[in-house]
Chains A and B, each alone.
Chain A
Amino acid sequence: MIWLIDLIVLIFVIFSAIAAISVKDLLSTAILFGAYSFLMCLLWAVMGAVDVAFTEASVGAGVSTVFFVAAVFNTTRRTKD
């Protein structure tokens, strides 16, 4: 049963990672990166590494998303390439 959760979350992780690098809008990229971090946090929690999951949730999904959004607001919203 646990491998099913793992599989579903892993598929979501791959989708959000590919979406984060292929989307042209940098604000969406920041949000997708937050979603990626949150799904990774779920994976860590399933594997029993609760401390790592905690760090990933607070730093990856929380604060770094805010930093990215702040940086996007002060630069350009669309990527050049």
Chain B
Amino acid sequence: MKKTALLIVCLCGGLLLSATADFPDWGYPSSPASTHLSNHYIEKSMEETNVPNLVTAVLADYRGFDTMFETAVVFCAGLACLLLLRNSNHKKDRFYRHVPTGVILRFNKNSTREPGGREFENMDAHWVPDDLIIMTVCRILIPFIQIYALYVVAHGDFSPGGGFQGGVIFGSSLILLAISYNLRTALKRTTEKVLGIFSAVGVLLYVGIGLLCMVLGGNFLDYGKLVKVLPVDPGHIRALGMLGVEIGVGITVMAVMVVIYVNLASKGQHDEGL
């Protein structure tokens, strides 16, 4: 059975490889891909949109409707992960550490009591002492990662990057916090509610900018019409509209990445991570 499968895979792979010989060469000027639409993008995008990065101009302006639904797909992925994995009523024993003395209290899974006072902190069942080197390095590193993420979002018009990449980098800085400290510390800073709201707000911001353009008398996502509400030079209005849209994408992607990680790492219980 396994040999038959290998044979079929090799046969299909060989067919596909032999078919690639018929493709035009890489970057061949008269191939169908580079004769119809891409010439228009390459020659006209600078004067039409005033955005130096052609990829961003195509993604956020010419193909803005596509990108809106890609963001919606990312949102749906986070929603599906939450609905499939979230399990909040699973009960197990809880452990609390009295910070000044280091005494550990164990609460039975059926008890509903919580220790009073601020000296107690909730801790994992398989607790490993915090590593000072890892914590210090991550604490210093995380702000720089976040600044870099914001830079990538803000400079999506001029350099490689954009909302999607910047959102992923911002989300991974929060995931780094969850890994280097623990999941509770990360969830104290970005609660489940905030993450849920953010993942919806990003898509709504994108759709809202599109609808605002419609209200102002243009087509959906026709950023040129935003000049009626924003006091900027009409040449740069499309770049500004794209920036708004990219920020929406970034917010959604950031929140969804953290939601997926938190639910995967804690089996949907939001207490103990990796």
- List A residues at the B interface (Cβ < 8 Å): 47, 50-51, 53-55, 58-59, 62-63, 66-67, 69-71, 73-74
B53 contact set on A, CB distance < 8 A: 51
**Interchain CB contact (< 8 A) of A70 among B56, B160, B171, B274:** B274
User: Shortest beta-carbon distance, B259 to chain A, in Å?
Assistant: 11
Contact between B160 and A73, CB atoms less than 8 A apart? no
11 contacts between A and B (CB under 8 A): A51-B53, A51-B55, A51-B165, A53-B160, A54-B165, A58-B168, A63-B257, A67-B264, A69-B274, A71-B264, A74-B267
Does B164 interact with chain A (Cβ within 8 Å)? yes
**Interchain CB contact (< 8 A) of A59 among B55, B160, B168:** B168
Whether A62 contacts B168 in the complex (CB less than 8 A), given A54-B161, A70-B274, comes out as yes
Whether A62 contacts B172 in the complex (CB less than 8 A), given A70-B264, A70-B274, A73-B265, comes out as yes
Given contacts A59-B165, A70-B261, A74-B265, 13 further A-B pairs with CB under 8 A are A51-B160, A51-B162, A54-B165, A55-B164, A55-B168, A58-B169, A59-B168, A62-B168, A62-B169, A63-B261, A69-B274, A71-B264, A74-B267
User: With A and B bound together, what is the CA distance between A67 and B257 in angstroms?
Assistant: 9
- List B residues at the A interface (Cβ < 8 Å): 26, 53, 55-56, 152, 160-162, 164-165, 168-169, 171-172, 175, 179, 257, 260-261, 264-265, 267, 273-274
User: With A and B bound together, what is the CA distance between A55 and B260 in angstroms?
Assistant: 18
A62 contact set on B, CB distance < 8 A: 168-169, 172
User: With A and B bound together, what is the CA distance between A65 and B160 in angstroms?
Assistant: 23
**Interchain CB contact (< 8 A) of B265 among A51, A63, A70:** A70
B179 contact set on A, CB distance < 8 A: 66
User: Shortest beta-carbon distance, B117 to chain A, in Å?
Assistant: 33
Contact between B165 and A58, CB atoms less than 8 A apart? yes
User: With A and B bound together, what is the CA distance between A55 and B55 in angstroms?
Assistant: 13
User: Shortest beta-carbon distance, B256 to chain A, in Å?
Assistant: 10
User: Shortest beta-carbon distance, A70 to chain B, in Å?
Assistant: 4
Contact between A73 and B274, CB atoms less than 8 A apart? yes
